[in-house]
Each structure stands twice: as structure tokens, then as C-alpha cells.
């Protein structure tokens, strides 16, 4: 049975490899390839901060627990991760070098001192002395000068120093303090730059005057960010203040990775490992820069060359909604579906603003997970509260790396008179749910929005998501029950229409798969179609294996982690899985069970991961409107047919581009073309 499963962490590394492939893919415009290179690195940073950090904590436990699919211990997983990351690191370095060679042809070059003449070197020395050296904070380490705290992902120039008396010391200089530009322009031929950390490293003899430098390198530390906010809960603080303290604590957690840029002696690596208190096995060498964020600055310098970027795409208005008229009456007349980024989020924002000013609206209830820095959603909720509406908002303060943003918005909402709660004990609230309640006389009506993505205007232009807005009163009444449970600190234990984790999603999905199994056993056509970001839930995986073995046809679009191997003879050979990694981040979740008159369809916030299905509050809604159901089904079919950006998952766990046959089908481009055509018509 082991051939049926893939380790979660190794599957994630395969996903990030697909991101790296996009950086290498010459079909993508050159500057967009730079973006994918940067995304590859930031993805890997977060992987070490969260997943490797978690495994590191598990390894310290006495029993070194095994994961439930491939039965690898935490230490075995860490060993496999290290090996795979080193392989991908070599490929990343080579890909970066090739990219920069192509960028050089466009008139921009990142230079080293070997590329400079004497006059240019003298200029840089003068520049360093005048503009950088006074802003540096160097440290030498001794008994009286302990090792300084190095911030997460901070680049430092390090050196082994030797005194005139022959004693060795360690010197370290933080390089990215924000007081000078990272790209230092070289005078003369325009378009040549040096990275500031390389400049600092070169002139370390000026920083540590009086010492002989025997070895030097740039290093970057990645710290564990996996911290359980509930386990360290301080009852003396209110929850919002507690989360602020958790953020501070995270910044000080132990290192889990160290990267360095020079080929230095193994003894020196051992010394560095000791200073940083990190396992030497978690130290990685790279020839590429330690932080790729400067690539966006290069893109900005080439912005005038349009052919180096994707063709401009603008989210279009939905043909289903007339924004010149009140929106709520249109929704009451017929359910509406918005598809981001192909269609604009504006109608949803306008509906919220309309509700804030509608005399018949008595309340607005929402769950908020990730918000834009300048949130129009919050603006509308504040306006509603100031207009006397009851506004109940659940702000999830445990949205990883968005905690500070959410803490700020929670204060804004509270100050405006909104009722703000912060989630449930031990459970994140990840649902995308909004309920507008209207009352006219004795008549109470609901308008409900359920989505697959966050209420974030920025990501609505970058992520593919679906947003259903419905006046179906049965769904509205059930949404009202969800909000009541949340306000009481409870979870839904029974639902009739929606799927609501943690008690009413995994079990209902399994029941629906069982139905398809029975239909296949009875000689009928069993069918399951799923689009999610990740598949790790073993109960659901095992049920899908059972369904495939029974003859149920299963089609899946899974962008990221997939712990199931399709195509294994007699077991999973009825399962086809593709991953689409392209211009936009695939983020929508669709579940389809059955075909024809039996078809049941849902969209929602949950991936098929245990953390989503049983450890979070998630909401998926049925699609009852036949026109919307047909539209979503067609979208799913096009994605399964993609032969440009889709990779098919093979039985050995590797991915291969779908064989390109004419006509070319790039699902994301097709959806944008359809959005433009719909407006023209």
C-alpha cells in the first residue's frame, strides 16, 4: 500500500519545483520568470519557517512520531527534505544564472568586483566609506561580547578574524538595515549594479580594521515560526494583546536553516553552526543571492519593455449584474457567481456598501481571515456600524503572518461599534462567509455570500476564486445558525445544506463518495470531480482509493500538495490528477459528486487537508442554480483539459507537463478571454 501515498513535505517540494519550472519556462515573459524565481525562494523560506520548524519540534519529542501515510519519522522527513532541498538548490542556482544572463542582454547586470576596473573600484570604496560604513553595526564575538540576535531572514556578512597576537574571533555585520538601497549603481555604463551585501563583504577589512580576515561569507538565517498560540495563551492578557505577544515571541524562535554564499572550509562551517546554535546538516550553500526580492526592482527598471511582461489583464464586470442599479434586488431575483480574477470583486464590495446604507438591512455578519492593507471591506462594515446596523465580525487573529494586519483591523472595527470576536478555542475560523439580514415588517430575508477566497481586493486580482451570492433562504438560515454557533464559541453539529467543518464536512464528503461507490458497484456511472489546493486527509484519500478500485471515475485538479498516487493498477487507475501552476494562483475549491440529475456541486473554503476538514471552521455551499452549476462544471472541464500549464501526476509521484496537442488549452487565458467577450456582448 505504500506505493499509493506520498509524504506531505516531499510533495510540497515537488510543488515548489513546479514554481521553479515557471521561472525556467521560456514561454513565459522574461520579467515574469524573475517573479517566479522570487516566489520559489519566498515559498521555500515559509516552508522552513513553518513545516521544517514543526518537524524540528516533533523530533525533540521522545517518541519521534511517524506521519500516517508513508510512516516516516520526523527525523527521516528532515533528512529527506535536506537531500531534496540541496538538489533543488543546485537547479535554482543554475536557473538564476541563466536568467541573469538573459537580463544582461536587456541592459541590466548584477556585477561583482571582478567585473570592475580600478577607477570603479575606487568609486565604490569612497561610496562605501561615505554612505554605508557609518550606518553599519558590526559585532565581534568574545566572552564579554555575546553573539547578537540575528533577525529572521536577515543577511549578514561574517568573517573569521585573527588578531595580531594570533587569537581568532568571529565578526558579523547585519547588511539589510533598511537605511540604504540594496542595489548600488555603478557609475559609467548605465544598468550595472552591485548588491549592497556584496559591497559590505568586500570591504570587511575596513569594518574590522586591525584584524586579519582569514575567511568571509554572506549568511542568512531562517527561524522557526511554528508557534501554537493557544498553547502559550496568557490568561492575564486579552486575546488580541496575547496575539501581539505571540508575534514578538515568533521573531525570537530558534534558527532552522542557515544559508551561505562562499565556498568556505568545513571547519569554518562548524564554527558558524556553533555560533548560530544550528545543526550543521541544516546549513546550505548557494551561489545565487540569499534574498531574491531585488528582482522586483529589476523588473521595475524594465517596465517600459512591455514584451518582457504578461499582456495586461483587467478584471471585467460581471455580465450577470448591472452595477448602475441596486444589487441586492438583482441577487434576490437570481443567484450570482463572481469568478476572480477574471471578474472584478467590485460588485461584492458595492453590495456591502449598499447594505450599509439600506434601511431594510438590520445586520451584517462576516468571517474575516486575510484582508488587504487598505480594506474596502472594513470601510463598508465601519459605515454599516456607524449607520446603526448590527455588525458582527469574526476576525481570525491566528491567520499566519497576517496577525498584525488583523489585529489592527480588529481595533478599527471595534472602535466603529462592530461586535468583534476572535475565533474558537483550538480552531481557526477559515470560512469565507457573509450574511446580510433584512427586515421589512415581519418579513425577514437573507442574502448570503460564500466564497473560496479571502475578502482581499489585492489577491482577488491574483488568485483564482469563486464567490456565490444567493438569496436562497434555506442557505441563509443555515448561515445564521453558523454565526450563532460562532458567537457562542460552538461548532455546527448538524447541517442540511452546507458542509461546515469540523463536524459536518469530512464525514459528509465521505458519505457522498460512498454513494458513488455503491452506484459503481450497482453498474452505474460513479463520478467525483474535485478542485482543491492540497490533498492530505488520509480518511478522504483512503475513501478515494476505495472508490477508484470500485470503478468510480475521479478527476482532480490539485495545485499543491498531493499525498495520493494515481494510476496504480487495480487501486487508483481510475484517478486522474493534474496540477495547474500559471500566471494566477489557483485557489478555488470545487467538489462535484455524481453526473446528470444526480450531480451535487459545492464551492467552499476547505482543502482536503486534515487541518481544514477537522481542525478549522470551514464552509462549503451547494450550488443549486442550474445555470451557475453548468458554468462551474464547464470551468472544471476546461481545467482538466489544460495542456499548456497543467502537469499530470504520475504513479511514481512525479509530475509531467500534459502533452501539448492542438488546439492549445490554457485554462486561465480562456477564462479571461471569455470574461472580455462577455462584456463586449
Minimal CA–CA distance to 664: which of 681, 630, 641? 641
Distance CA 557, CA 547 (A): 17
- Residue 89 contacts residue 286 (beta carbons within 8 Å): yes
- Number of Cβ within 10 Å of residue 28's Cβ equals 20
Instruction: Give Cβ neighbours of residue 626 (< 8 Å, ≥ 6 apart).
Output: none
User: Which 8-state DSSP code applies to residue 49?
Assistant: I
Q: Which of 56, 202, 242, 430 is catalytic?
A: 430
What burial letters (b/e) apply to 607-646, b meaning 16+ CB within 10 Å?
bbbbbbbbebbbbbbbbbbeebbebbbebbebbbebbbbb
Catalytic residue flag (residue 660): no
Alpha carbons within 13 A on the beta-carbon side of 630: 4
Task: Look at residues 284, 299, 257 and name the one whose alpha carbon lies nearest to residue 92.
Answer: 284
Residues sharing a CB contact under 8 Å with residue 197, sequence separation 6 or more, in sequence order: 155, 157, 175, 176, 182, 218, 289, 290
Q: Which residues contact 424 (CB under 8 A, 6 or more apart)?
A: 486, 489, 490, 491, 617
The DSSP secondary-structure symbol of 541 reads H
SS3 244: helix
CB 226 within 8 A of CB 53: yes
What is the CB neighbour count within 10 angstroms for residue 382?
Answer: 20
List Cα–Cα distances, 622 to 24, 181, 552, in angstroms. Answer: 40, 51, 22
403-415 helix and 376-386 helix, angle to the nearest 10 degrees: 20
Looking at residue 495, the DSSP 8-state letter turns out to be -
Kindly tell me the burial class for residue 244, based on how many C-beta atoms sit within 10 Å of its own C-beta (0-12, 13-18, 19 or more): middle
> Please, what sign has the CA dihedral across residues 271, 272, 277, 279?
negative
> Residue 495 and residue 515: Cα distance in Å, rounded?
18
- The answer to whether the CB of 661 falls within 8 A of the CB of 643 is yes
Which residues are catalytic, by number? 430
Amino acid at each position: 500500500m505504500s506505493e499509493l501515498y506520498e509524504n506531505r513535505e516531499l510533495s510540497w517540494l515537488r510543488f515548489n519545483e513546479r514554481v521553479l519550472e515557471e521561472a525556467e519556462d521560456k514561454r513565459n515573459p522574461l520579467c515574469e520568470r524573475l517573479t517566479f524565481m522570487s516566489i520559489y525562494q519566498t515559498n521555500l523560506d515559509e516552508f522552513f519557517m513553518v513545516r521544517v520548524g514543526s518537524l524540528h519540534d516533533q523530533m525533540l519529542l521522545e517518541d519521534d512520531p511517524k506521519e500516517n501515510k508513508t510512516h516516516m519519522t520526523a527525523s527521516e522527513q528532515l533528512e529527506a527534505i535536506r537531500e531534496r532541498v540541496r538538489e533543488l538548490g543546485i537547479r535554482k542556482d543554475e536557473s538564476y544564472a541563466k536568467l541573469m544572463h538573459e537580463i544582461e542582454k536587456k541592459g541590466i547586470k548584477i556585477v561583482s568586483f571582478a567585473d570592475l576596473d580600478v577607477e570603479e573600484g575606487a568609486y565604490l570604496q569612497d561610496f562605501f566609506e561615505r554612505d554605508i560604513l557609518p550606518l553599519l553595526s558590526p559585532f565581534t564575538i568574545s566572552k564579554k561580547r555575546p553573539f547578537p540576535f540575528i533577525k529572521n531572514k536577515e543577511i549578514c556578512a561574517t568573517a573569521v578574524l585573527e588578531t595580531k597576537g594570533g587569537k581568532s574571533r568571529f565578526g558579523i555585520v547585519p547588511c539589510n538595515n533598511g537605511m540604504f538601497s540594496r542595489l548600488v549603481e555603478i557609475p559609467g555604463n548605465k544598468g550595472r549594479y552591485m548588491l549592497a551585501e556584496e559591497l559590505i563583504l568586500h570591504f570587511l577589512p575596513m569594518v574590522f580594521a586591525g584584524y586579519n580576515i582569514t575567511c568571509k561569507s554572506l549568511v542568512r538565517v531562517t527561524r522557526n515560526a511554528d508557534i501554537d498560540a493557544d498553547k502559550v495563551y496568557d490568561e492575564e492578557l486579552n486575546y488580541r494583546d496575547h496575539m501581539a505577544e505571540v508575534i514578538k515571541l515568533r521573531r525570537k524562535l530558534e534558527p532552522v536553516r542557515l544559508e551561505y554564499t562562499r565556498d568556505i572550509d568545513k571547519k569554518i562551517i562548524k564554527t558558524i553552526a556553533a555560533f548560530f546554535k544550528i545543526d550543521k546538516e541544516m546549513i546550505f550553500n548557494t551561489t545565487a543571492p540569499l534574498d531574491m526580492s531585488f528582482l522586483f526592482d529589476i523588473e521595475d527598471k524594465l517596465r517600459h519593455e512591455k514584451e518582457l511582461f504578461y499582456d495586461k489583464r483587467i478584471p471585467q464586470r460581471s455580465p450577470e449584474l448591472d452595477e448602475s442599479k441596486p444589487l441586492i434586488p438583482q441577487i434576490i431575483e437570481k443567484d450570482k457567481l463572481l469568478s476572480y480574477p477574471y471578474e472584478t470583486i467590485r460588485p461584492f464590495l458595492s453590495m456591502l456598501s449598499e447594505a450599509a446604507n439600506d434601511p431594510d438591512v438590520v445586520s451584517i455578519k462576516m468571517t474575516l481571515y486575510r484582508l488587504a492593507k487598505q480594506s474596502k471591506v472594513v470601510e463598508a462594515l465601519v459605515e454599516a456600524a456607524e449607520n446603526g446596523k448590527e455588525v458582527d465580525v469574526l476576525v481570525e487573529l491566528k491567520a499566519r503572518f497576517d496577525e498584525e494586519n488583523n489585529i489592527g483591523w480588529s481595533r478599527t472595527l471595534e472602535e466603529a461599534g462592530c461586535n468583534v470576536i476572535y475565533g474558537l478555542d483550538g480552531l481557526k475560523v477559515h470560512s469565507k462567509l457573509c450574511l446580510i439580514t433584512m427586515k421589512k415588517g415581519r418579513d425577514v430575508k437573507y442574502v448570503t455570500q460564500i466564497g473560496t477566497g479571502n475578502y482581499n481586493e489585492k489577491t482577488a486580482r491574483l488568485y483564482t476564486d469563486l464567490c456565490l451570492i444567493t438569496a436562497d433562504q434555506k442557505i441563509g438560515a443555515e448561515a445564521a445558525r453558523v454565526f450563532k454557533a460562532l458567537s457562542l464559541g460552538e461548532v455546527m453539529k448538524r447541517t442540511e445544506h452546507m458542509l461546515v467543518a469540523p463536524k459536518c464536512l469530512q464525514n459528509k464528503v465521505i458519505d457522498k463518495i460512498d454513494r458513488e461507490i455503491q452506484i459503481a458497484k450497482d453498474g452505474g456511472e460513479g463520478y467525483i470531480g474535485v478542485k482543491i489546493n492540497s490533498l492530505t486527509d488520509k480518511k478522504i484519500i483512503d475513501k478515494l482509493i476505495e472508490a477508484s478500485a470500485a470503478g468510480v471515475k475521479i478527476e482532480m485538479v490539485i495545485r499543491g500538495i498531493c499525498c495520493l498516487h494515481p494510476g496504480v493498477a487495480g487501486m487508483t487507475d481510475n484517478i486522474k490528477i493534474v496540477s495547474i501552476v500559471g500566471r494566477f494562483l489557483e485557489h478555488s475549491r470545487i467538489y462535484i459528486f455524481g453526473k446528470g440529475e444526480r450531480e451535487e456541486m459545492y464551492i467552499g473554503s476547505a482543502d482536503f487537508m486534515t487541518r481544514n476538514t477537522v481542525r478549522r471552521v470551514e464552509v462549503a455551499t451547494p450550488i443549486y442554480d442550474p445555470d451557475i452549476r453548468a458554468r462551474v462544471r464547464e470551468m472544471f472541464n476546461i481545467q482538466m483539459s489544460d495542456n499548456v500549464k497543467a502537469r499530470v501526476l504520475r504513479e511514481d509521484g512525479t509530475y509531467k507537463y500534459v502533452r501539448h496537442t492542438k488546439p492549445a488549452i490554457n485554462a486561465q487565458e480562456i477564462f479571461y478571454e471569455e470574461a472580455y467577450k462577455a462584456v463586449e456582448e
